[in-house]
Amino acid sequence: MVDSDQQDALLKTVAGVAGGALLFSPVGMPIVHGLAGLAVASLGAITVGSAIGAVTDNIGKVLTSKERDVKEYPDVIDEDEI
């Protein structure tokens, strides 16, 4: 008689083989392309989010340093103000 652990392992193997065969069949190829498209779009969104985060962090540092310079050196006239 087959043990239940062996049955579970056999069922997982059969399900994996059947799932792989389904994904590489003509019916499953649109699913594979859709998943690949989602992965590329997700990577793009992560990249854009990281870039926007870096820019906003640096803008905050630039604005605070300019305000600090104006407070420390009030006699200096900005070229933009002329």
Examine the pLDDT at 40 and tell me if it is beyond 80: yes
C-alpha gyration radius of the chain = 29
Whole-Å CA distances, 13 to 2, 8, 55: 15, 9, 48
b/e per residue, 1-17, with b = 16+ CB within 10 A? eeeeeeeeeeeeeeeee
Q: Which is more confidently placed, 29 or 70?
A: 29
| Average confidence (pLDDT) over 17-26 | 81
DSSP 36: H
Going by pLDDT thresholds of 50, 70 and 90, the confidence category of residue 72 is low
User: How many other C-beta atoms are found inside a 10 Å radius of the C-beta of residue 28?
Assistant: 14
* 28 touches 35 (CB < 8 A): no
Going by pLDDT thresholds of 50, 70 and 90, the confidence category of residue 46 is very high
Examine the pLDDT at 76 and tell me if it is beyond 80: no
